[in-house]
A and B are shown apart, each in its own frame.
Chain A
Amino acid sequence: MAPQDPGCLATVSTVDQPLVAVPAVQKLVDICRAMSIWPMTFGIACCAIEMMGVGMARFDMARFGFEVFRPSPRQCDLMIVAGTVNKKLAPVVKRLYEQMPAPRFVMALGNCAISGGPFAIEGQYNVLIGVDTIIPVDIYVPGCPPRPEAVLEGLFAIQEKVTGRRWWPEPEVGQL
């Protein structure tokens, strides 16, 4: 990707070592953490409605542990960037990311958060070509907007990233 000026510096993130570094305990802690990730309510645009839809009765991400949506970034593990980030919003996204305590994860939901989406036209003046120009992203979920099932797969991938394995059955191809 070509270098570009998002209007603010990218964030530099450090994670301290845990006080007690016993692998079995860490593994258990990681599983507990993965099974109760607290997302942050940061819906920006159209993908936010699909994110809300995943939280609702039909798709229900609460059954996978993502029950608690906290508005304050200081109480969250996961920031779901759902929508287009533009130059005015970039410092806000960066500040929210910096306010999240580590370990923290970021999901870029939708084409706009991944790479500017339908707004990445040559000569455009306001949209960031992907939110990963300012914050590190863990999982990319493509789609415009992605189906709720795709969002769920993205959440499972975060859990896989935290624990090292996928916990939920893979759907069969072609199954509705």
Chain B
Amino acid sequence: MQTFDPSTMRGDISSIRFEPGSTQDKMILNMGPQHPSAHGVLRIMLELDGEYIIRAEPVIGYIHRMHEWIAEQKTYLQFMPNMGRVDYLHAMAWNWAYAGAVERLVGIQVPERAEYIRVVVTELNRISSHLVWWGAYLLDLGAFTPVMYAFDDREQILDILQAVTGSRLTYSYFTIGGVYEDVPADFSKRCTEFVKRLRSRLPMYRDLVTDNMILRGRCEGIGELSVDVARRYGATGPVLRGSGVDSDTRKSEPYGVYNRFEFRIPTYTEGDAMARYRVRLDELETSCDIIEQAVSSLPEGPVSAKVARVFKPPKGEASMAVEGARGKIIVHVRSDGGPKPYRVKLRAPGFSNMSLFAELARGTMLSDAVSILGSLDLVIPEIDR
């Protein structure tokens, strides 16, 4: 452990630590924390030899909002809205991971209707998260039109989810034992119509964007990730599936009622940014399949289990793994029998995926590093929590 004397610092401590390399011709470039790529407040310090990156070091913590500390100050149910803000693009998955961990701890049986509703809203949220990723990634690469289409599709999803939950973005719809409120009467119809509309748009996205020569040139062969490196860094989700590993938490550790639906896990073996891109676009179709099946077989019944008014789970610890849009989300909850959790650990997939970046970016050109960063699909508040 090293200590630093602030009075001798020339810049901030991250700049001081990032000492220049041995030869004279290298340039230190600081990217962020404010830069046009819409990832959030991420700072990357780069040592460049011309256009090539010799070293890259991400500096995070600019949006550290103390979620794990807050968990110890609030009761179990009061903490649920925080889960919507950890990764606001796939808030439903974080809701599910936390609610599922607490339900495992206590042993609550969630009603069937709630399980189906959970699946549908989480998959809708996954589609909207992938659309934002897709639009923002293409914006980074310089294409201004696809993001408009992506947000237009996304607004349709937000209309549906707003009718269900009341919010557009940071949902805290889940509760311990089910979901907060039942869905409106036209929910199934709207979901089916939306899925039909999205399926009709996907061929256009493929022809105009995925098959575009410029996109291919910017993504193919960029940021190749081997399975062994991915495993030892803990990469999960589309980053791992783009390297050929057929691993999805919805199939490997089925939760909710996912084992009742037929769906394909898209996997590509090249391991480059194009493979990860294709995985996510194929996942849009997978989510459409799941939504169609779930909505057509939505059972009747209550939407949440009865839970004690002063909720005190028994002592113990439980973990729940959920497949988020970015990878495997795990929430570990430890209880001491009181009304507030003793310790909540949020395992964000972006945290492990981001730590890959330093290794993947080495030796690439700066513009390729932007492409790699986009292909990892990072949401910085999830990394900083």
A residues sitting closer than 8 Å to B (CB atoms) are 41-46, 48-50, 52-53, 56-58, 71, 73, 83-84, 86, 88-89, 91-92, 96, 118-119, 121, 123-127, 144-145, 147
Is the CB of B337 closer than 8 A to any CB of chain A? no
Residues in chain B near residue A88, CB distance under 8 A: 61-62, 64
Residues in chain A near residue B265, CB distance under 8 A: none
Is the CB of B294 closer than 8 A to any CB of chain A? no
Whether A44 touches B81, Cβ cut-off 8 Å, given contacts A56-B147, A92-B33, A92-B62, is no
Is the CB of B40 closer than 8 A to any CB of chain A? yes
Residues in chain A near residue B89, CB distance under 8 A: 49
- Interchain CB contact under 8 A, A89 and B62: yes
Would you mind naming 30 contact pairs between A and B with Cβ atoms under 8 Å apart?
Answer: A41-B38, A43-B40, A44-B62, A45-B40, A45-B63, A46-B170, A46-B381, A49-B88, A50-B168, A52-B38, A57-B148, A71-B34, A73-B34, A83-B41, A83-B63, A84-B65, A86-B62, A86-B64, A92-B33, A92-B34, A92-B41, A92-B62, A96-B34, A118-B81, A119-B65, A121-B73, A125-B66, A126-B64, A127-B66, A145-B169
Whether A56 touches B151, Cβ cut-off 8 Å, given contacts A50-B168, A119-B66, is yes
Query: Closest approach, in angstroms, between the C-beta of B68 and any C-beta of chain A?
Result: 12
Q: How far is the CA of A74 from the CA of B152 in the complex (A)?
A: 31
Residues in chain B near residue A73, CB distance under 8 A: 34
Q: How far is the CA of A42 from the CA of B36 in the complex (A)?
A: 8
Q: How far is the CA of A104 from the CA of B315 in the complex (A)?
A: 55
Query: Closest approach, in angstroms, between the C-beta of B14 and any C-beta of chain A?
Result: 10
Is the CB of B175 closer than 8 A to any CB of chain A? no
Is the CB of B201 closer than 8 A to any CB of chain A? no
Sample of 11 further A-B pairs with CB below 8 A, known A71-B34, A89-B63, A126-B66: A43-B40, A45-B40, A50-B169, A56-B155, A58-B155, A84-B65, A88-B62, A89-B62, A92-B62, A119-B65, A144-B170
Residues in chain B near residue A96, CB distance under 8 A: 34
- Interchain CB contact under 8 A, B132 and A118: no
Q: Which residues from 41 to 97 on chain B have a C-beta closer than 8 Å to any C-beta of chain A?
A: 41, 61-66, 69-70, 73-74, 81-82, 85, 88-89
Other-chain contact of B170, A43, A48, A89, A145 (Cβ < 8 Å): A145
4 A-B pairs with least C-beta separation: A56-B151, A46-B88, A71-B36, A89-B62
DSSP majority for the A interface?
loop
Residues in chain B near residue A83, CB distance under 8 A: 41, 63
Query: Closest approach, in angstroms, between the C-beta of B156 and any C-beta of chain A?
Result: 10
Is the CB of B35 closer than 8 A to any CB of chain A? yes
Residues in chain A near residue B147, CB distance under 8 A: 56
Q: How far is the CA of A147 from the CA of B167 in the complex (A)?
A: 9
Query: Closest approach, in angstroms, between the C-beta of B72 and any C-beta of chain A?
Result: 10
Q: How far is the CA of A145 from the CA of B381 in the complex (A)?
A: 15
- Interchain CB contact under 8 A, A147 and B168: yes
User: Please, which residue of chain A has its CB at the minimum distance from the CB of B156?
Assistant: A58
Q: Which residues from 129 to 168 on chain B have a C-beta closer than 8 Å to any C-beta of chain A?
A: 132, 147-148, 151-152, 155, 168
Q: How far is the CA of A69 from the CA of B64 in the complex (A)?
A: 26
Q: How far is the CA of A126 from the CA of B61 in the complex (A)?
A: 10
- Interchain CB contact under 8 A, A48 and B169: no
Q: How far is the CA of A125 from the CA of B65 in the complex (A)?
A: 9
Query: Closest approach, in angstroms, between the C-beta of A159 and any C-beta of chain B?
Result: 24
Residues in chain A near residue B151, CB distance under 8 A: 52-53, 56-58
Q: How far is the CA of A46 from the CA of B74 in the complex (A)?
A: 21
User: Please, which residue of chain B has its CB at the minimum distance from the CB of A127?
Assistant: B65
Residues in chain A near residue B85, CB distance under 8 A: 45-46, 118
User: Please, which residue of chain A has its CB at the minimum distance from the CB of B139?
Assistant: A52
Residues in chain B near residue A127, CB distance under 8 A: 65-66
Residues in chain B near residue A53, CB distance under 8 A: 151, 155
Residues in chain B near residue A126, CB distance under 8 A: 64-66
- Interchain CB contact under 8 A, A125 and B69: yes
Q: How far is the CA of A86 from the CA of B73 in the complex (A)?
A: 19
User: Please, which residue of chain A has its CB at the minimum distance from the CB of B85?
Assistant: A46
